[in-house]
Structure 1
């Protein structure tokens, strides 16, 4: 059993997504179940609706799972386990005012039962360790378990056998093992810690909003410090060759330029109709036009902006106002031409315009800009929309 943890206190980070993707792949490769656990124990900082947002995002990336759990559903069991550890002298009550102080000085470890019962102050529960200075809190003053304590028992209760997580949780792993051993749980749980994706303060949702496609983001994250037979691939293709044992332990740094390159390649791989739909249209020719713009930009958002300008209501160019108005009228009333050369020759003859006075307004009306893609490449894809474009 593998598990993915989601935190409803914040956006999904790139490292979170990378961990989720690799857990999904390994679960598929080994034929084991993958569960998702929403780590909602920090009630004070949970964001309303964030859990569903996170679930929607991993679904967008094709990550399926067998069961969904909420950490808070196990709180009653966490209390029982804490009580058991106290009874077994594996944990102790601590009244020290700063529960997060490290190293801990051990002053509360040997309090007598009377000293505990007669002390009216709030307390935490600490795990006994050797040395005592490493004794860590497992139940906070608000009677809620710490994340480490909750994870230790949730993984046990839910039958998790393999944990793949970010290296930021490396210290937690040893504590979780200590907690489970203290309760008498002897089923082995294997751990793999992946290097954090550094130098990116951008969330996965931000990247999606900017037009980076799920296929490309997944491709990029799986490419990091992992030998791959090809640079551009899908998640499903990675199932056949991905090997977690080959992942480097070296630091991983986020590279927006590399992601942009991979995103362009995945845009090109989409069917013309699918790409058209992703940018808000439903025409194969618009999809073909969108692919032409990968010569200039890297994301579907940037492509959409380029194409939206083509169909937007435009005012004549100020520098060639009269010429622009003339060409607008001629284009609107022109007969249908299959070929761009014929269309351009017709406009040249009817307008009697030359050089910049002709070409800049023409490019502007057809593309929304006085420069950019060649009109000869664009024309076959927009010729059926000319009246709408120059309206």
Structure 2
């Protein structure tokens, strides 16, 4: 089984989504199931309603999963296995204050050493521990040997004991720390492959060590994907969030296409995730940091819009008319997102009262069209207007385009008219 984990303290970013997509694709290729794990242990930092948003986004991107589990549901197992480690003398109670830990950290920095715990509480006798009423954390004992593992993408890693350290596995409030909870949960759900961002490489060493100390012997394959550079990361506005790009009018299919394309050699530039399952090779994804390019995403988005069924596009734009879908595609030469196309359509249906410098001509044109019979042909419409107004060719062209589209430039007016002729009463109101 594979798993995708998302913290409730963070909005889903493009990097998170890329990892989710990789997990989904590989799970399909291996014919294994995918588990969604919601990390909700840090209650103070949880963003209200974020779990609902996360699950809605996964559904929007058609990322199928077997189940959704909340990390807090496994608290009793986290605590039970902590006691097991303490009983076998592989973990110990630590009574050190924050001030003491800061002092240890400062000393390590001063001596140019890796910041690690000095082991003071590890030497306390059982009697001393029993008689101490101070709050305590639980630390796992520092490994005696290096912790080694092979990343299927990045190769071999080796971490010295000082890097792994006697790290805390249970906090003062008796809730587990991130690395201990992840270690236990991956055991509980029989995870076989972990795909996540490269920032977790050091965490992987700690989690492997925890499982070793718990005598868990099943092999877990690890793949750490490269980071994405130059994505907006303004936390206040969530400009790195998946929801932000959806709200800006990017199609989920285009976003998924772009994220899988990043740092990857693909048979074609435009594809669906279903197609990617056929040829994707996680071990051939680039190890190099990849650079986000919003212009490239816009280009891919434009191509995905172009392949949409016209009725579906129409409904996305707020209509239920194939002609409106075709109209939307007419604007793809100058628009790249659903929002940009919708803005063009909204202008067509907006109220146009006057055209500066041509007020009289504009009024005459509007009056003419308001009383005109239905005309299915654009040339027929122009002929009718010339016969019933005093507009010359230049004035007619300028005023008619503005009245029908709200702008002075755009696609061929006759092509636009053929798609909006049924709405003329609403457009020239």
TM-score greater than 0.5 by the shorter chain: yes
Q: Which runs of 5+ in 2 are unaligned?
A: 106-114, 144-160, 234-239
TM-score by length of 1: 0.97
Size of the aligned set, in residue pairs, is 391
Instruction: Give the secondary structure class of the aligned counterpart of 1:125.
Output: strand
d(CA) in 1 for partners of 2:63 and 2:352? 43
- Map of 2:416 onto structure 1: 378
Query: Superposition pairs for residues 266-305 of structure 1, below 5 Å?
Result: 266-305=304-343
Instruction: Give the secondary structure class of the aligned counterpart of 2:121.
Output: coil
2:220 to 185, 189, 197: 189
1:241 maps onto 2:287 in alignment: no
Query: Superposition pairs for residues 43-122 of structure 1, below 5 Å?
Result: 43-98=43-98, 101=105, 102-122=115-135
1:158 maps onto 2:201 in alignment: no
Per-residue deviation at 1:301?
1.0
Q: Which runs of 5+ in 1 are unaligned?
A: none
Instruction: Give the secondary structure class of the aligned counterpart of 1:108.
Output: helix
More moved, 255-264 vs 346-355 = 346-355
d(CA) in 1 for partners of 2:30 and 2:133? 53
- Map of 2:265 onto structure 1: 227
d(CA) in 1 for partners of 2:387 and 2:128? 103
Q: Deviations over 1:35-73 (max 9, x none)?
A: 111111111111221101100101100101112111000
Instruction: Tell whether the 8 Å contact from 2:331 to 2:410 is kept in structure 1 after alignment.
Output: no
Per-residue deviation at 1:339?
2.0
More moved, 305-314 vs 73-82 = 305-314
Instruction: Tell whether the 8 Å contact from 1:360 to 1:371 is kept in structure 2 after alignment.
Output: no
Per-residue deviation at 1:120?
2.8
More moved, 133-142 vs 82-91 = 133-142
Per-residue deviation at 1:132?
5.7
2:345 to 307, 313, 318: 307
Per-residue deviation at 1:356?
4.6
Query: Superposition pairs for residues 299-378 of structure 1, below 5 Å?
Result: 299-354=337-392, 356-378=394-416
Instruction: Give the secondary structure class of the aligned counterpart of 1:104.
Output: coil
d(CA) in 1 for partners of 2:170 and 2:412? 67
d(CA) in 1 for partners of 2:403 and 2:171? 66
- Map of 1:125 onto structure 2: 138
d(CA) in 2 for partners of 1:376 and 1:224? 40
Q: Deviations over 1:259-287 (max 9, x none)?
A: 00000000000010010111111100000
- Map of 1:175 onto structure 2: 206
